[in-house]
Chains A and B, each alone.
Chain A
């Protein structure tokens, strides 16, 4: 059973770079899309961006200038870097898998079917 686990510092200073890693266990990182999603305390979900196992990426325009997502297939990991952080970046950060495939009934499935438990990142001096 595929599981995802986020890791990284829980506290980041303003103007610095937030760095998180998601480790995929129980399956291969290949052939799927892998996203980062965040949720500020008490608020809704915001998609940050994805990386395909081949390395292609797509970022939310609202964060594009500050976001980099990378993949290391040899370690079955993908990572998020968010630069120039402010208090507004304080959130629980989730990694998630999406398949981007047509299921056996012909329906397109690109929903986030597997999620990590999430990691709280606070931006504060």
Chain B
């Protein structure tokens, strides 16, 4: 199975900050990568697919980039509603696998 590793596992940031989360795949996955946001007690919400395509109705402050093994999720101007845990997920091969998550906390 492809292993997905996110960094950092958690960090603190302030509203208005530009933040970046990194996801690395253990082998090349082309652009078959998605990013999700999860808030406590809620299901994950799809933000980005195909590494950089914004899902419908997701704010444009979210962006994704990368291909092959290295990917990033950037939030250009952190809003209060963005404090959550973020997961990357590969859909290049089965079994589908997720990163361990990155928790973005309020500084």
Q: Do A and B come from one complex?
A: yes
Residues of chain A contacted by B31 (CB below 8 angstroms): 107-108
Indicate if A34 sits at the interface (CB-CB under 8 A).
no
Question: How many residues of B are counted as interface, with CB atoms below 8 angstroms from the partner's CB atoms?
Answer: 25
Dominant SS among interface residues on chain B: loop
- Total inter-chain residue pairs, C-beta < 8 Å: 64
Residue pair B94, A58 in contact (C-beta under 8 Å): yes
The docked-state distance in angstroms from the alpha carbon of A112 to that of B33 is 11
> Are B49 and A109 within 8 A (Cβ)?
yes
Q: Is the CB of B32 within 8 A of A108?
A: yes
Listed A/B pairs (20) with beta-carbon separation below 8 Å = A35-B96, A44-B100, A44-B101, A45-B87, A45-B89, A45-B101, A46-B98, A47-B98, A60-B95, A61-B95, A107-B50, A107-B53, A108-B31, A109-B50, A111-B55, A115-B45, A116-B43, A117-B42, A117-B43, A118-B43
